[in-house]
Amino acid sequence: MDEAATETCAGGETPASSAPPSSGPAVDRLALDAIYEIAKTFATAPDPIDEVPNILNVLSSFLDLRHAVLALLSEPGSEGAWGTVNPYTIAATAFVRDKAADPSEVIPDEVVRIVFRSGVPLVSFDLAEEFGPDAVPARLRGEGQTMIAVPLRDPERSHFVLGVLCAYRSHEDQRAGLSDLDVRVLTMVASLLEQALRFRRRIARDRERALEDTRRLLQSVSDQNGNKVPPISLDGIIGDSPAISEVIAQLRRVAPTRTPVLLRGESGTGKELFARAVHTQSDRSRGPFIRVNCAALSETLLESELFGHEKGAFTGANALKKGRFELADGGTLFLDEIGEISATFQSKLLRVLQEGEFERVGGTRTLKVDVRIVAATNRDLEDAVARGEFRADLYFRICVVPILLPPLRDRKSDIRPLAQLFLDKFNETNATNVRFAPDAFETICKCNFPGNVRELENCVNRAAALSDGEVVLGGELACRQGSCLSAELWRLQEGASPIGGLAVGRVVTPSIRRSVAERPVERELPPDPAESFPRRKTANTAREELIAAMEEAGWVQAKAARLLGMTPRQVAYALQKHGIEVRKI
């Protein structure tokens, strides 16, 4: 018995024959019956996605559309998310499959990519001929297959493609007009699924709103009883979430001491703000707070900036210059992006951190300073130490008290007060009186903000600057207009956006298919060896890393410069500095 005959419909009924009749009206009646069964299932489903396997079995039982598959874009942070081989997952199938298997084993990767990008249905009348024999799933090989794939759109934003619904039909079952009917049926099924998802989202949104109203009511009662807990505000740090409360508690405990602090967290979490808080809460608050961005300076300039230089120490040193360590004497020195300094400079920095002594560049007199070090990084220093890129002794010197700053997505209750703060700053700076409507705040509070607080501030300023009136509506936000960079980045598929720009309901013709397939896709190029090396802005490169890059580039200095993110002149200088002889190949 073949696979289609073993699959049963969701309503428990099986047509008399597993193969559709040859007459047109009979096939149309079966299609109508299938849509009716599918609509009934979606109407009562608490989770539409969980019912999709039953829906796919209905298509197999009524219309003999076999091996049906639903592929959805991966959610950020989940298994199979962006950056992996396939940025989509198989959400449902009409058959049993190994979940650990690659998605391309049940649906051709190139077909999925085309539908995601074009946003229109695709029909491949001979899958093996058009996309190669390997594109045909293993269980369907041995006979010709027609593939029909239609897009599944975002229920809230129809121009976003969230998934692909596809099914196969054997060449033995081909009749005139049957493929057109298959496209219409699958498109209707996708529309029913979109409507079910929209309804479920609205229910979830109403539930969240009810829970929020209940929380506010309880908070109001607590305030009236005199139990109001004021939001935490410490030197510009605002928030009342458990994550930020724990960080501030750690900060208050460690600030009065002289212990070095290492602030860790993603870019945009406000590491400099927390470093200033450590300084102002300490007994050094009357002393200077000096900041240095270690990633913005080359090794030579960084040494001069931190230690200073004597007059005539090098070309252009026309006068004595005090370094940041001298300027921070009696106060706090904030070393931002400390994970980016070179191995050579790490040894120089270690001495001053251990002994509090150093010499200016070009000088011989030893200077002694009393400086508290607060460092910050968004790198995995433990991994860098394991790979020999960061000195272990320096790591243990700066990482005495590590404080992990939570990303904004882990402290969502702080988004609203932060957004209001940024809006107030915008109004004060620009002499305006812009306000956010409730739906605008609601939309902002649901964002993940991968750029964290910095991205939130940019989002608020953009919305306030582009608003047509004094009230910013939810529809005016970038994410609601399809122009939010973060929202687009979540949907990047192998270097190209899956947002469809063609008319809904058109079937992809061979010419359209070729034009879509020929669009430049970064991931289709051979892997760039530069991904193996950290990008740098200077000639501050370790000897081993430089040799590795030169060998990867076949000892071509221009290519090695591209791999390292340097200029050919910087590579030539680094080769001369380390005494590396250029090989002739």
Pick 410 or 515 by higher pLDDT: 410
Q: What is the pLDDT of residue 503?
A: 35
SS3 170: strand
Is the pLDDT assigned to residue 519 strictly greater than 60?
Answer: no
219-245 residue pLDDT tens? 666 656 655 444 455 667 888 888 888
Q: What is the pLDDT of residue 585?
A: 61
- Return the CATH class of domain 3-202: alpha beta
SS3 261: strand
Q: What is the pLDDT of residue 233?
A: 56
With a CB cutoff of 8 Å and minimum separation 6, the contacts of 291 are 272, 275, 334, 336
Q: Which of 10-24, 31-45, 285-299 has the highest mean pLDDT?
A: 285-299
- Take residue 463 and report the two structure tokens written for it: 């919305």
Is the pLDDT assigned to residue 288 strictly greater than 60?
Answer: yes
Average pLDDT of the segment spanning 426-453: 87
Q: Which of 42-46, 101-105, 549-553 has the highest mean pLDDT?
A: 549-553
CA distance 367 to 415: 46
Is the pLDDT assigned to residue 580 strictly greater than 50?
Answer: yes
H or E stretch covering 209: helix 178-224
Q: What share of the chain is helix, strand, coil (3-state, %, to 5)?
A: 50, 15, 35
CA distance 89 to 574: 45
- Take residue 326 and report the two structure tokens written for it: 């001298």
Confidence of residue 260 (pLDDT cuts 50, 70, 90): very high
Spell out the SS3 assignment of 218-258.
Answer: HHHHHHHCCCCCCCEEECCEEECCHHHHHHHHHHHHHCCCC
Residue ranges of domains in the chain: 3-202, 234-406, 409-472, 524-578
Task: Report phi then psi at 286, rounded to 5.
Answer: -85, -10
SS3 359: strand
In which residue are the tokens 């596809």 written?
166
Q: Domain 234-406, CATH 3.40.50.300 — does that match?
A: yes
Helix axes 557-564, 568-578, angle to 10 degrees: 100
What is the second-level CATH architecture of the domain 409-472? Answer: Orthogonal Bundle (1.10)
Average pLDDT over the chain reads 75
90-138 residue pLDDT tens? 877 877 777 667 777 778 888 888 887 777 888 888 877 888 877 777 7
Terminal Cα distance for the chain, rounded: 63
Task: Report phi then psi at 99, rounded to 5.
Answer: -65, -20
Confidence of residue 377 (pLDDT cuts 50, 70, 90): very high
Average pLDDT of the segment spanning 459-481: 84
Pick 431 or 219 by higher pLDDT: 431
DSSP letter for 353, please.
H
Q: What is the pLDDT of residue 331?
A: 92
CA distance 63 to 20: 6
Look at 60-69, 182-191, 480-489 and tell me which has the smallest mean pLDDT.
480-489
Confidence of residue 289 (pLDDT cuts 50, 70, 90): very high
CA atoms within 13 A on the CB side of 114: 27
Q: What is the pLDDT of residue 515?
A: 40
Residues 299, 344 contacting (CB under 8 angstroms):
yes
303-335 residue pLDDT tens? 888 988 888 777 777 888 888 999 999 999 999
148-205 residue pLDDT tens? 888 888 766 666 777 888 888 877 665 544 667 888 888 888 888 877 777 777 776 7
Pick 424 or 507 by higher pLDDT: 424
17-43 residue pLDDT tens? 444 444 466 777 777 877 877 877 777
